[in-house]
Amino acid sequence: MLTLTDSALPPDGAWRHDIIEILDLLPVGVEIYSRDLEAMFFNKFSDALFNYDGRAITHFDDWWEEGFPDPREREFRLRVIREKLVLIELDVTDQRIMEAELRHIGSIDTLTDTANRRAFMERAERALADARAAPAALSVLMIDIDHFKSINDRFGHSTGDEVLVAVATRIRANLREEEVLARIGGEEFAIAMPGIAGEAARAAADRVRTAICGSSVASAIGAVDVTVSIGATEYAGGEDTVEDLLRQADQALYEAKARGRNCVVWAVAGG
């Protein structure tokens, strides 16, 4: 750690050379500007950190424009020492990338690469708020893989995982970009479909069902036939919450199971 105090004598001669060499070896950026914000010194890490591409930095404003096109990219510390502006720069890019990756991991189901329940609730709440404010349409689907326990018992859990991944992939291929797909239980998925209701939503739900059961899933042990039951509902205004919509869709899902599975049943919001 380098400490500068007002009692220290200004370095000169060999001492100046040694201090500059030390500053150039530091794993942090060090920049010094005059009281008029004219550039006086940059260590090597600072040059590498901001990658000036040969542009001469003669003033603090030049440094700000060149070094921070996006102010969120870097963090820095500064202090004034004997009317000199001294900046200490830390590269936190890797840390922020790691934080973003951790946030991503915390919001997805790692097997199917879909949103998890918590992320689904957050995004569905935003979609519902938008639908309530516009007002606009919003449909919610609950999807359950038929006889999934039998698939696991007969073929093994690794094949069950392959089925889950295949189902998620087929669903995702039939969704719009703004629609939210999540795995919210063992073999259960949920979809929030902003801006769609009525016949368009019913067609979309049946398209998803057909995409899943239209062909067998190719697994390591061979082809596995898969069907799904879907319960669905629409936001009809009022004070319904996402939990209300999921509950309505879940009730419709039970009805789909009772009707023999491999079908879509719609419930009326508030019913």
Give me the active site residues, please.
187
Beta bridge partners of 87: 31, 78
For the packed helices 117-133 and 242-258, what is the interaxial angle rounded to 10 degrees?
A: 110
Beta bridge partners of 190: 142, 182
Please give the sequence-ordered ranges of beta strands (E in DSSP) within the chain, or none if there are none: 29-33, 39-42, 75-81, 84-90, 108-109, 114-115, 138-145, 180-183, 188-194, 217-219, 222-224, 228-234, 264-267
Residues 235 and 176: beta-carbon distance below 8 Å: no
Q: What is the signed CA dihedral for 202, 237, 140, 193, rounded to 10 degrees?
A: 80
